[in-house]
Each structure stands twice: as C-alpha cells, then as structure tokens.
Amino acid sequence: MPITEPRGVRNRNPGNIDYSPANQWEGQLGMEVGVPRPRFARFDTPENGIRALGKVLLTYQRKHGLKTVKSIIGRWAPSVENDTAAYVRAVEANTGTKPGAEVDLTQQAVMAGFVKAIIHHENAGYSYPDAVLAEGVRRALT
C-alpha cells in the first residue's frame, strides 16, 4: 500500500487553511481537489502555503489582539474540531513558550517556531526542510 503525504502537504497548505474565494493569497490555486468533501485551499508551493499561515497568525495578533499561544491556537484550532488544550501544549513545548506567556510573532525565530509546531501538529509529525520553512516565514514577515 503506497504511503501518502498528509492532506496539508499534498495541498502545499501545511496550516490547513480553509478555502475562501475572498482570500487572494499569493500562490493560491483554488480549493483542493480529489477528496470527498473539499474544504482547504491549495497553493503552488509550500513556501506560499507557509506564507499564508504566517499572515493569518499575524492577523490574529494585530487585528484581534491575541498574544498567547493559548489564545492564538484557540482561534486557529477551535475545540469543536480539535483537542485544543493538547494543541496548545504541543506548540508551547515546540516553541519553548511558558503557558500564558506573550509571544511576538513579528520576530523571525518566534514565527518560525510557531509555524513549525503548527505544521507538525496539522500534518501528523511532518516537517519541511529548514530552507523551505525559512523562506515561507520570510515571505510572511515581509
């Protein structure tokens, strides 16, 4: 039986961002194809998928005032669909953030750690090469 990549990796959307025609993401190709219930956006490269993930996180921080891992992940992965508490613990552990501590996602190292942890959680432990992750984060922060 062939091993298949996680859905977010196949879509080059490692954050599993829902597709919306209102979002004109750089490199967005439309809605995913070939699945029974399409929901997520597809991107041309993983770097542009990572860029979109980072831009969403920055919006959470800038527009909605979310400053902690718990508040950001609570919005990113609501408890109706996820074990949000476990998700928060995983991101805190992977970023070295203490529970309740404020994070500044405009800092490259903080954003990279956050994005890497989300990708790992959303895609069954998958991780991109460091250069791919770094370029996606660079695009998100510019």
User: Which pLDDT score, from 0 to 100, does residue 82 have?
Assistant: 87
**Percent of the chain whose predicted confidence (pLDDT) is above 70:** 98
The C-alpha angle 23, 26, 31, rounded to 5 degrees, equals 55
Q: State pTM to two decimals.
A: 0.94
**For residues 100 and 76, what is the distance between their CA atoms, to the nearest angstrom?**
17
Q: Give the pLDDT mean for 20-28.
A: 96
**Percent of the chain whose predicted confidence (pLDDT) is above 90:** 90
User: Which pLDDT score, from 0 to 100, does residue 2 have?
Assistant: 56
- The boundaries of the domain holding residue 109 are 45-140
Q: Which helix (H) or strand (E) holds 120?
A: helix 108-122
What are 28-83's pLDDT values in tens digits? 999 999 999 999 999 999 999 999 999 999 999 999 999 999 999 999 998 888 89
User: Which pLDDT score, from 0 to 100, does residue 59 have?
Assistant: 97
- Identify which of 92, 17, 98, 29 has the alpha carbon closest to the alpha carbon of residue 60: 17
Number of domains in the chain: 1
Q: Give the pLDDT mean for 104-118.
A: 95
- Identify which of 95, 110, 118, 102 has the alpha carbon closest to the alpha carbon of residue 65: 102
Question: Does some domain include residue 95?
Answer: yes
Question: Does some domain include residue 107?
Answer: yes
Question: Does some domain include residue 7?
Answer: no
Question: Does some domain include residue 22?
Answer: no
**72 Cβ partners below 8 Å, 6+ apart?**
57, 60, 61, 66, 103, 114
Per-residue pLDDT band for 114 (boundaries 50, 70, 90) equals very high
